[in-house]
Structure 1
Amino acid sequence: MNRRTALTLLPGLIGLHAPAVRAQERYPDRPIRLIIPFAAGGSNDIVGRVIAEGMAARLGQTFVVENRGGAGGILGNEAVATSASDGYTLLLGGSGSFLISSLVQPKVPYDIIRDFAPVGFIGNAPNVITVNPKVEARAMGELRDLARRAMPPLSYASPGVGTTGHVLGALLALEFGAEMEHIPYRGTGPAITDVLAGRVQILTNAAAPLRPHIASGGLRAVAVAAPRRLEFLPDVPTTVEQGFPAILSSTWYGLLGPAGLPADRVAALHGALNATLAEAGAKQRLSEEGVDIEASPTPAAYARFIEVDRKRWQEVVTRAGIRAE
């Protein structure tokens, strides 16, 4: 039996061992709630709403988007982890709000491996390393040398403690072998403002919110922390090209449900997600947010990605001694 045949037969096989009323249920037969652990208006919100719209059309059921920010994503994550395992509550998970927050926060009321059911990967928004134009560094090697001799230390801004920008800045300091000062803000906007003003020297973030400032000259892009260049920043070399292969970071997005989600419902959600990601309109809208779509072939593949990425960032968090107070 090949994989496609197995997936086709799976719902029927499950139904043989369930009560008769379960076998006759149609999924979904009521609205699905998608929790986004951020306030409305940012990139996470935009990505989540694109996905919700596309999946609703394919599953024939309304998706209700609920923005539940706070505590670095923990409040929204917990709401999903403790919800019923019936496929009617989903989470837009991310590198910072889902994975990194679980490594740096002192008390997290769930385990990201044990308490969630991965549905599928959405894609990556590779992070860009930028500096204020007054910083005398145009390449990674120059930035490393400057960081090593700077007194006082160079500072880097982030949207907050435990964000992707925070741990990438810490990774830069580790790989440069230099002391650097972390300046956390309440969101990307205030962080950009202070780097533009020269009060902080370095900012790393997904490309979309940085792109207009790079284009205007307000920020200088030093590198893309990815294996390949970005299409809309073709002149910015990667960290790998510049001899820093360990400095890789992206803001990634994925879909998850609570642990125990029935396999047939995971399969239905995964299929609708991947069909959405293959649609031209969704591709365009996600590309505008700097997202490089990378649909996972199976939910299990996404689960393995989470485990590998957690191990990689756990090493950085431990070496850098990062801990949210």
Structure 2
Amino acid sequence: MPTRRALLLAPLLAPVAARAEAPFPDRPIRLVIPFTPGGTNDIVGRLVTEGMARRLGQPFVIENRGGAGGMLGAEVVAKAAPDGYTILLGGSGSLTITSLVHARVPYDVATGFAPIGLMGQGPNVIVVQPSLPVTSLRELQALARRADPPLAYASPGVGSTGHAAGAMIAQALDVEMTHIPYRGTGPALNDMLAGRVQVFTNALAPMQPHIQSGALRAIAIAGRARSAAMPDLPTTGEQGFPQIEAATWFGLLATGGTPPERVAILHRALNATLAEPEVRRRLLEGGVEVEPSGSPEAFARFFAEDRARWAPVVRRAEMRVE
């Protein structure tokens, strides 16, 4: 016979057990995109979560939270309830570079997030002014060593991925180059096209029309593999500078402390979506080459290694945003 205590506790424990057994997800999931609408991050996030929503049976509510190089949106996720219902579209700029260059970061980048999975990488291309007599990194190195005044490289702003990439190139080539920051990719690209700066490293997609027209000259893909969009352009590694690696990556992360079983569910939905030929095609058109991670743990390692690779570059270049 059950005891009086067991009979009294049973009604109290029943709701707890029911909640514990509820399937995940059983309500909409919020995706925080740490940039304003319309850019590559926004396009990638909306496309991928459409496919994930079909598989999970719940819609995704998109919240664009721009500001501070992605830090404001990342903070929302880092401080959310660790239940898997608030996730972040993170990337090399908004998480890796931002966490290294800002003097005050309102979260611990190593523990504030639970990596779900990598979506892909957008290869960055190194371009120069066509007036420069260089077609390779070795030729750029030789020219930069005798340039007086130093060659200038553009970036979308102080503390941006482009700023860090330019510093990485100068360090790897062992040359001096002057950093010219702009307020975004558009103004930087405009001054490149006008001939006011000589070197620029950025995502391939917005650069490709100008490369094809001859307004800019591409000299290297700053990644481990050649780009499917420009298969004849050699990588930095092929040219003897494997330390120059500046691809822009995109991935999903939940709040730190999210139960691993929920992270695993989101990871499976993400990878199944990335396996769709139409999704892969549309991502490639947007300049992102699909590169899913085998597990959340594999993505966590990728994230840690990416940050460790950029940290000495940022320190040596004395990049700091107060």
d(CA) in 2 for partners of 1:217, 1:277: 34
Is 2:193 the partner of 1:196? Answer: yes
Match of 1:14 in 2: none
d(CA) in 1 for partners of 2:157, 2:230: 25
User: What stretches of structure 2 of length at least 5 have no aligned partner?
Assistant: 1-14
d(CA) in 2 for partners of 1:246, 1:59: 40
Is 2:203 the partner of 1:209? Answer: no
* Cα deviation, residue 227, structure 1: 2.4
Match of 2:127 in 1: 130
TM-score normalized by structure 2?
A: 0.93
* Cα deviation, residue 26, structure 1: 2.3
Q: Deviations over 1:20-40 (max 9, x none)?
A: 022331221221111111111
Match of 1:316 in 2: 313
- Code of the aligned partner of 2:174: G
Match of 1:13 in 2: none
TM-score normalized by structure 1?
A: 0.92
Match of 1:231 in 2: 228
Match of 1:251 in 2: 248
CA contact (8 A) 1:148 1:176 kept: no
* Cα deviation, residue 299, structure 1: 0.4
- Code of the aligned partner of 2:114: A
Match of 2:79 in 1: 82
* Cα deviation, residue 231, structure 1: 1.5
d(CA) in 1 for partners of 2:132, 2:108: 41
d(CA) in 2 for partners of 1:227, 1:250: 9
d(CA) in 2 for partners of 1:45, 1:187: 16
CA contact (8 A) 1:52 1:65 kept: no
d(CA) in 2 for partners of 1:240, 1:112: 29
Larger Rg: 2
* Helix, strand or coil at the partner of 2:154: strand
What is the number of residues matched between the two proteins?
A: 309
Pairing of 1:90-101 with structure 2 (within 5 A): 90-101=87-98
Pairing of 1:110-125 with structure 2 (within 5 A): 110-125=107-122
Which 4+ stretches in 1 moved above 3 angstroms? none
* Cα deviation, residue 305, structure 1: 0.9
* Helix, strand or coil at the partner of 2:18: helix
* Cα deviation, residue 296, structure 1: 0.9
User: What stretches of structure 1 of length at least 5 have no aligned partner?
Assistant: 1-17
d(CA) in 2 for partners of 1:188, 1:46: 17
Equivalent residue for 2:257, pick from 256, 260, 264 = 260
- Code of the aligned partner of 2:29: I
Q: Deviations over 1:45-88 (max 9, x none)?
A: 11111111111111111111111111011100001101111111
Equivalent residue for 1:270, pick from 257, 264, 267 = 267
d(CA) in 2 for partners of 1:30, 1:186: 39
* Cα deviation, residue 112, structure 1: 1.1
Report % sequence identity. 60
Residue range with higher mean Cα deviation, 297-306 or 154-163: 154-163
d(CA) in 1 for partners of 2:137, 2:93: 24
Match of 1:160 in 2: 157
* Helix, strand or coil at the partner of 2:123: strand
